[in-house]
Amino acid sequence: MGHGIAELAAISGNEVWINDVSQEILQQAMEKIKWSLSKLKSSGSLREDVEQVMSRIHPEVSQPEALKDSNFVIEAVKEDLELKRTIFRNAETYASPTAVLATNTSSLPVTEIGAVLRSKERVVGMHFFNPPVLMPLVEVVKGKDSSDEVVKATVDMAKSMGKETIVVKDVPGFFVNRILLRIMEAGCYLVERGKASFQEVDSSAIEELGFPMGVFLLADYTGLDIGYSVWKAVTARGFKAFPCTSTEKLVSQGMLGVKSGAGYYQYPSPGKFARPNLPKATKKLGRYLISPAVNEVSYLIREGVIGKEEAEKGCILGLGLPKGILSYADEIGLDVIEKTLEEMKEDTGMDHFAPDPLLVSMVREGKLGRKSGGGFHAYKSEEMNFSTIVVKIEPPLGWIILNRPSRYNAINGEMIREIDNALEKLEEKDEVRVIVVTGQGRVFSAGADVTEFGSLTPVRAMMASRKFHEVFMKIQFLTKPVIAAINGLALGGGLELALSADFRIASKSAEIGQPEISLGLIPGGGGTQRLSRLSRRGLELILTGRRVKADEAQNLGIIDVVTEPEEVEAEVRRLGNAIAEKSPLAVASAKLSYRIGEETNIWAGASLESSLFGLLFSTKDFEEGVRAFLERRKPNFRGE
């Protein structure tokens, strides 16, 4: 950490003195800095010559000499309170009388470190994340005695190094580590209460929540001893948490993760990381993994430790999550979070799992998240008026909700025309990047409205079938991805509507089927064509008219994801939002190439793919994607 921070300070134009206990250690640090600068230069991220930056870094074994007249001190030694205090006493003596005295501690209270000094107001937390050169966030910690001027100077210094900042009050673990500990606590709870294996926890974290690493894999990667020492430091200062006995046991056995070659997982050799092969996620554990962290953020906001927007920034830039914890909460539903916390409290008897008063009050006020139009964040919502469907626009998603619940959302002529109209309107709206089709109430759609069959001649029946085909083909080849959220029965034409979508996410209680054969008919909305492309047993379903449960439909390859009834919407939003973050032009091109490829030979399909691939090189989205990659940030695609 120390040499990385020194490198950043030198890159930003400062004269830097680095101090350690021996010349050998300092020489190693200089070599590491030079290697890192060379990498930055070769990637185009460093404008100056390497040697020019290196000339501003001065190794010094004598601490008084290194501190002499300095105007900004950053301490980055091990988490030893007395050692840190000794350094700050020296800094108070030898550095400039107005120097900022910053500590890079990740767990020890800033107020405790500065308590032995005369000028306590100069002590502040400046928590970098490892590796400092690459990680974009600095957590600035305002101790009880830290002056506002010192906090501002620290923020300015971090920004001069090219870093984003969040400012938090001095509580054990500050913000980022407290949230990481809550996520780790939840993983330990699931494993040690027998609800899941650590591999299942990691699979769910990656697949369901989109975490870059699983909970236990990340613990291995950063070092179990480091995580355990932070855990002990903050719990000793009042942070209540579910005890993670598995981590304690591994540390006592010297199994520290990647650095020792084994921890929760086995690695090729000490210090050599290789991602383990994780099983496909079969359990939906996301609400458990997120709920304690949501409770913690709620508490910290209510206590004025951090603001809502800075909390979200801290989760994204400090933990590397695809979205903030509060955004996860809004997607899952604050009522679901509250019930999960109550379940964990009852299961463990630990009071700290009790839902925070802020969370409880929001649920009582009906602020449940996206599904209610607002929770921790407000969500823009717009509705279009139709007679048989409801169309909602909640950027980046657009919803088409079949709305004939008294008729089990049966599809009549008016509904098929309105779906067609809604698709055109949603496709034209730039703020809508993914479309979701679902049913009002407990049924997706029981199929075509049989009461209209009596007026149909054979010719008009064929025309009606063709109209179904036109609309369902439009869905299949729409420029925007379409998700079918199957919340109950999806039969006949209802299933055919779902089959035309790009993804099908179903409740465990859902049932699907093509019952037309029982009426002396065959599917008329594409069922004979799309089922045959999805499942080898599609013909069996058509010829028998048999209904199948969601789990069996998933095994047959017809349903993509099966989840609990109360989690269908959250799962849809997770997938929809993940797609919506990507370039709309690339998404539309990928969908078109994939769909055409299904219907033609590989030569024609590959030719189309090459053409679209080349065409995308001319877009601003491509330029933004490459720039964001080089700058190690999240791209902002505009569809241009």
Amino acid identity at 143: G
Q: Of 248, 257, 230, which Cα lies nearest the Cα of 127?
A: 230
Please report, to the nearest 10 degrees, the dihedral formed by the alpha carbons of residues 53, 58, 59, 65 taken in order: -160
Contact 536, 507 (CB under 8 A): no
Decide: 490 and 512 in contact? Cβ < 8 Å. Answer: yes
139, 200, 516, 609: which one is catalytic?
A: 516
What is the spatial distance between Cα 462 and Cα 524, in angstroms, rounded to a whole number?
A: 8
The total of other beta-carbon atoms located within 10 Å of residue 14's CB is 18
- Residue 490's contacts (CB-CB under 8 Å, 6 or more residues apart) are 444, 445, 484, 497, 498, 506, 510, 511, 512, 513
What does the H/E/C string look like for 386-438? CCCEEEEEECCEEEEEECCHHHCCCECHHHHHHHHHHHHHHHHCCCCCEEEEE
137, 78, 74: which is closest to 100 by C-alpha?
74
**What are the residues whose beta carbons fall under 8 Å from the beta carbon of 361, sequence distance 6 or more?**
none
Strand 389-394 to 382-384 pairing:
antiparallel
Q: What is the DSSP letter of 257?
A: B
The catalytically annotated residue of 496, 567, 569, 609 is: 496
The answer to whether residues 275 and 286 touch, using CB atoms and an 8 Å cutoff, is no
DSSP-assigned letters across all residues of 53-73: HHTTEEEES-HHHHHTT-SEE
The H-or-E segment that residue 124 falls in is: strand 123-128
Residues facing residue 491 across a β-bridge: 513
Contact 144, 134 (CB under 8 A): no
CA 415 from centroid of its chain's CA atoms: 36
Q: Evaluate the omega torsion of the peptide bond into residue 292 and state whether it is cis, within 30 degrees of 0.
A: no
Q: Is 194 exposed, middle or buried (0-12, 13-18, 19+ CB in 10 A)?
A: exposed
Length of the chain: 640
Q: H or E stretch including 463? A: helix 458-476
CA 263, 266, 267, 269 torsion-angle sign: positive
- CA-wise closest residue to 11 among 68, 50, 66, 67: 50
- Mark whether 496 is an active-site residue: yes
Buried-state track 139-178, b at ≥16 Cβ within 10 A, e below 16:
bbbbbebbbeebbebbbebbeebebbbbbbbbbbbbbbbb
Reported as half-sphere exposure (CB side, CA atoms, 13 A), residue 215 has a value of 32
Active site residue 207: no
DSSP code of residue 503: E
Beta-bridge partners for 67: none
Q: State how far the alpha carbon of 605 is from the alpha carbons of 327, 583, 589, 597, 612, in Å.
A: 39, 21, 12, 5, 11
Distance of alpha carbon 177 from alpha carbon 639, whole angstroms: 36
Residues annotated as catalytic (active site), given as ranges: 496, 516
